[in-house]
Amino acid sequence: MANRILSSHDSPGADRCVDVFVRDDGSFGFEEYRRDPEDLRGWQCLNRYGRLAFPTEAEAREAAKSAVPWMSEDAQ
């Protein structure tokens, strides 16, 4: 089964986003995506963080804020 997205956070320029998700095993994670206006394929996974696992959604979100600079600037 696919991960279930719990929240999605867009960058101020709306060209990047971070999804916080829960896995079937109950662990939580996050991943960063980017979108280029000239690329019609849409969002592209950056494959940086999706393998990390956290025991709670809050911990995954805090780790995302620490790892992704624009998230801490936006204070989501």
The pLDDT, as a whole number, for residue 75 is 47
Edge-first strand listing for the sheet containing 44-45: 4-10, 16-22, 28-34, 44-45
- Name the residue with higher pLDDT: 45 or 40: 45
Element containing residue 33 per DSSP (H, E): strand 28-34
Task: Give the angle subtended at the CA of 51 by the CAs of 45 and 53, to the nearest 5°.
Answer: 130
pLDDT number for residue 36: 84
The residue range of the domain holding 44 is 4-74
Q: Tell me: the pLDDT tens digits for 46-62? A: 989 999 999 999 999 99
pTM of the predicted model, to two decimals?
0.86
Tens of pLDDT, residue by residue over 1-41, are 689 999 999 999 889 999 999 999 999 999 999 998 777 78
How many domains is the chain built from? 1
